[in-house]
Amino acid sequence: MTTTASIVERYKNVMFPAAAPYHGDNPLVVDHAKDQYIWDIDGNKYLDFFGGVLTVSVGHCNEEITARTIEQLQKVQHTSTVYINEIMVRVAEKVVELTPGRLQKVYFTNSGTEANETAIMAARMYTGNPTIIALRHAYSGRSMTAMTVTAHGTWRLGGVVDPYIRHVRNPYTFRAPAGLTPQQVVDLCVQDLEETLATVTDGKLAAFIAEPIQGVGGFIVPPQDYFGRIAPIVRAAGGVFISDEVQTGWGRTGGKWFGIEQWGVEPDVMTFAKGMGNGSPIGCTVTTPEIAEAVKGATFSTFGGNPVTMATVLATLEYMEKYDLKTNAAEQGARLRAKLEELQSEFNFIGEVRGMGLMQALEIVKPHSTEPDAARTAALLNAAKDKGLLLGKGGLYGNVIRISPHLNTTAADVDTATELLAKALVAVS
């Protein structure tokens, strides 16, 4: 008989141990999903407030999207980029229309990792400089370059290879030296960037790459003037500004299409994946004509821009526009945030509530301290699942709960989720 236990046993027999699912000895084996719900193989129903890591942006098996995926699947599935398909051009036009400033040239791949690889390659070819500055606590993907940009020791496997990728202090106000104001944290970050440039580089940059809100890092939200102070230093060193919007893009942060817009800074390159395709494998890099022009020679991605993914992406972006989901993300995000702050006042192990829009986090600590409590965080994730609520986890210390429902979530779902979360918090108190 097919049960969770039997599938988990078979999974362990054939999969890399490093591909470790959530929930320890009791992982969730998915049977099917619809809109905001997932059902496991044993018939239990869950309210999904993680969306496959901020990827199912408009609901599981969304009928309006799925219909267009199937329609395209029956028309033409794959040709590779040696031929042109119109639907790829339409998606690129939509990306150019919605992204800010002079971002006008698009390249499609299959993942956030590849989108970031493309951005770094283009920045290096455009500037003629090799050096990349990234942030500590960043997550950039799983190729060797992306793992080198990543600055979580646990996600850097196999030896890192790129000596030109340097990391600077990130604006993590909750874990900054005690007593510093957010303004002083930004000062410290600026000083670290300047010292890094002066000491371990030749002063010339290819790029600065950052997530507007560090995702895997635990939804770390920089102070309001952070990017505005970093960008001129990067540009003075000849570098371009790459905004990794893999988690923050496409309305997630509420009110704006892209995370970096919340800081009023115009990047030279943006990278996308995840929520752009509501679960279809997509990577996308958009940049200025000059930077795109500098990528001389041939580059190729077999599945990049394939018609079925493009149909799904186009349907997803049009759905977001039609239902004004960036506004919904702001409204439901505010509702969620208020309820999380109420919970913080009741539970002394919630150290900080932070985030933007429908990207909210709880940093779990030992009571009345800032000491991370990874054990209680894992227990909370499991307790929420037992109550029927799926959440995410993150943070360098494994002590951040990540909450990221679909962008078309409702007030009723936010209320249900926070009620279930409250019960889970009691269970781990």
Ligand X SMILES: Cc1ncc(COP(=O)(O)O)c(C=O)c1O
Give residues in contact with ligand X (CB under 6 A).
53, 111-113, 116, 139-141, 211, 215-216, 244, 246-247, 273
Strands 30-34 and 389-390 turn out to be: unpaired
Closer CB to ligand X, 211 or 413, in the complex:
211
Closer CB to ligand X, 282 or 424, in the complex:
282
Distance CA 33, CA 332 (A): 22
Closer CB to ligand X, 211 or 373, in the complex:
211
Residue nearest to ligand X (CB): 112
Shortest separation between residue 120's beta carbon and ligand X, angstroms: 12
Shortest separation between residue 55's beta carbon and ligand X, angstroms: 8
Shortest separation between residue 359's beta carbon and ligand X, angstroms: 11
Helices (H) and strands (E) in the chain, counts: 13, 15
The amino acid sitting at 252 is R
Closer CB to ligand X, 111 or 409, in the complex:
111
Give Cα 75 distance to the centre of its chain.
Answer: 32
Closer CB to ligand X, 65 or 216, in the complex:
216
Query: Which sign does the torsion angle of CA 55, 136, 220, 23 carry?
Result: positive
From 152, 166, 231, 177, select the one nearest 199 (Cα to Cα).
166
Distance CA 40, CA 32 (A): 7
Shortest separation between residue 217's beta carbon and ligand X, angstroms: 9
Helix or strand run (H / E) with residue 133: strand 132-135
Shortest separation between residue 246's beta carbon and ligand X, angstroms: 4
CA distances from 406 to 30, 54, 128, 145, 250 (A): 18, 8, 41, 30, 12
Structure tokens given for 373: 């409590």
**Helices (DSSP H) in 201-249: which residue ranges?**
226-236
Closer CB to ligand X, 38 or 273, in the complex:
273
Helix or strand run (H / E) with residue 282: none
Burial class (CB within 10 angstroms; exposed 0-12, middle 13-18, buried 19+) of 289 = exposed
Closer CB to ligand X, 190 or 246, in the complex:
246
Closer CB to ligand X, 135 or 383, in the complex:
135
Cα-based torsion angle of the residue sequence 274, 354, 50, 167 in order, rounded to the nearest 10 degrees: 40
Shortest separation between residue 143's beta carbon and ligand X, angstroms: 8
Shortest separation between residue 113's beta carbon and ligand X, angstroms: 3
Shortest separation between residue 36's beta carbon and ligand X, angstroms: 21
